[in-house]
Amino acid sequence: MIQTDICIIGAGPVGLFAVFEAGLLKMRCHLIDVLPQVGGQLSEIYPHKPIYDIPGYPIVKAQELIDNQMEQIRPFAPTFTLGERVEKVEKQEDGSYIVITSDNTQVHCQAIAIAGGLGCFEPRKPELEGVDTFERKGIDYMVKNPETYRDKTLVIAGGGDSALDWTIFLSDIAKKVTLVHRSDSFRGAPDSADKVYDLAQKGKIDLLLSHNLLSVHGNGSLAQVKVANKSKEEYLLDADYLIPLYGLTPKLGPIADWGLNIDKNAIEVNTFDYSTNVERIYAIGDINTYPGKLKLILCGYHEATLMVQSAFKYVYPDQKLSFKYTTVNGVHAF
């Protein structure tokens, strides 16, 4: 059982900033995210996207912002559970909660902050014959541990940043990497595309452009992937693993069953402290809704700040907040 003060569901920019604000009030945080890394959609979908509305930064790339926030919260030593989805919450007699994930990780906390962005990201699955048969038996929709693929034969499918980045990275780990993309050009960063073309020219990967996945085959575990080119010619590729990286679809997921007031896939909150209708559960960032709501990172930071001020009473019920600032090792604290 992991013990913490606030369990934050979602490790995107708003969830990370909540860690900082909670740390100033000497509250511990544990973050849970279904993605295998922190950063939410900024890291998973558009790490190279420039962001222009962060105070003090005329321009900052999405991944750079996440990296800076991780450095900002480092003094407060947050803990993380990544690559797991929160399935349910169980309220205890004292009002606290136990949060339980898809892998049965259990977190005991005094308050919950839902910072899930647009919701629980679920992978867009290819429409392939036999795809369900080989999920977790050779078909992976996310790369959780690159060492899983050491000396294996991989087929990666997709044309965005994730497909390009993992093709580049895994080319030094896997025995063989084949990148399959249905178009003749990539959607990802031009620099990453150039690196993939260079790897193909050097024979370090096989690059199949204007190809489509058709079906998957094997006996108990994946063995082959059938593809077709523009001329409708079909052939089989040997594969220990198929990694389709077609992006993610945001869904509210199991959160929708927690008794929260929901309006159009968003959680209704009280703007006094961004609390929900369920005691000790808050919602901050793009996942919440209220009159005048703007889905901006900046607004999520504001919501996180007020949320932790409210959650303080559950963690330290016998104390009142003091707003006198001190500085310890360069870090502001109350």
Q: What is the DSSP letter of 255?
A: G
Q: Which residue ranges make up the annotated binding site for FAD?
A: 33, 41, 46, 86, 121, 286, 327
Q: How far apart are CA 214 and CA 174, in angstroms?
A: 23
Amino acid at the residue 84: E
Q: Which residue ranges make up the annotated binding site?
A: 33, 41, 46, 86, 121, 286, 327
Distances (CA, A) of 277 to 14, 104, 281, 291, 293: 21, 26, 8, 16, 18
Six token digits for residue 176: 């063989």
Cα three-residue angle 263-297-64, rounded to 5 degrees: 140
Query: Strands, E, within 158-273: which ranges?
Result: 176-181, 206-209, 212-218, 222-228, 234-238, 241-244, 248-251, 262-263, 266-268
Six token digits for residue 213: 């996945």
Q: How far apart are CA 218 and CA 197, in angstroms?
A: 30
- Using an 8 Å Cβ cutoff, are 36 and 165 in contact? no
- Using an 8 Å Cβ cutoff, are 261 and 275 in contact? no
**Number of other CB atoms surrounding residue 216 within 10 Å:** 26
Residue 201, φ and ψ in degrees, nearest 5: -65, -35
